[in-house]
Structure 1
Amino acid sequence: MSSEQRVEAVEKALSILDAFSEERSSFSLTELAAETGISKSSLPRLLNSLILFGFVTRDSDRRYALGANVWRLGALFRRRFDLGEKIRPELRRLVDLTGETASFYVRKQEERICLYRQNSPNPVRHHLDEGSRLSIDRGAAGHALSARDDAPTVFVSLGERNPDVAAVAVRITAPDGDLRGALCVSGILSRFGEDARGQAGRLLLEARDRLRLTD
């Protein structure tokens, strides 16, 4: 996309929202400037606009956090897919049986979005946040989401996006064949070896069949 088709102020405001995560749920002005690369002189006006529309809040200690309007839009986005009650039990089952992180992705143009996830209980793990946006052209889930209907049933990636991470994924489709998303198990490459990936692939196919039967 060319620079003429983009608005710099909007991109800066969105980069503020994008800075928040499970690990960093609030920021001071100085911390936010360091995280986003936006100058401290420019941040207050951007933040005031985000506060006005309910996307950011500011507490008595002058720390900034996400506002309720972010939750509202996230709920609307998830409602389009209406899969949470079916997907989450499968994610928990995959984590229990593999010990690795399980996630569910949907495609949004040339990105994949982690709609649901269950992180591994292992202290050393592939950690994902719900809402994370990743490239569609790398990783097992990305290959699953961009594949043709006659592509392999199980997709594997080894160190494509992160040299220390391996992943296995399957496509999840509706009864009419419409693609709903990709179910994925990912783990640290040194631990998530060929045998473990094979087991994860079999478990993913079983989960896919259960989801297809209950769609």
Structure 2
Amino acid sequence: MSSGSIFQEEKNPRGIPKAPFIANVEEYLGGPDGEVEGPLKQFQDAIAKYRYMDANLTQRRRSLEDKIPDIKKTLSMVEFLQDRRESKDKADDRDDDLEDDDDTKGSGKPVTTTFELNDTLFAEAELEDTDTVFLWLGANVMLSYELPAAISLLRSKLGVAEASLATTIEDLEFLREQLTVMEVNTARVYNWDVKRRREKRLAEEAAGKKA
């Protein structure tokens, strides 16, 4: 048995190493008198590393699952503002028609909405036709964007977040498979050692009776 890393060279697309499955415990340990404490310690270290990665990815998954709905809501709002702006521009181009003039006045009326200040506090606001919006980018940064640029940015961020969530879920499934493999390896080596000790004790007792 190698004294180096127990991980295989095979990895998933994000570089998480695949766990080896110990098909023949005796062969893996180097024979019937092979030492088990070292391998078991390696297995426990590997399990700890997998669990650490699992905890980090689980936290990342929760963060993305919270972020994606927020991005979708923001994108929907900006698209609404863009549609409203485009409708007003089209109505302004038809100012020869009195009915279209009435529509223009209607489309220019402010829209009353509510927005969230914190988890339990909401406020009312009136939305007027605008060409720009301010987007919160995190890290105490807020920037102004033209509506088309804001929509493009939000769609890009949504695509990245959804792709990241998909790969995170895939990595979590892969990690849990590797954890299962390592736990099975640990149980197989432990049980093999228990069986070996029992057989050795029975052999010694039989030899003592013959003597």
Q: TM-score, normalising length from structure 2? A: 0.20
Structure whose residues are more often strand by fraction: 1
Structure with max Cα Rg? 2
Structure whose residues are more often helix by fraction: 2
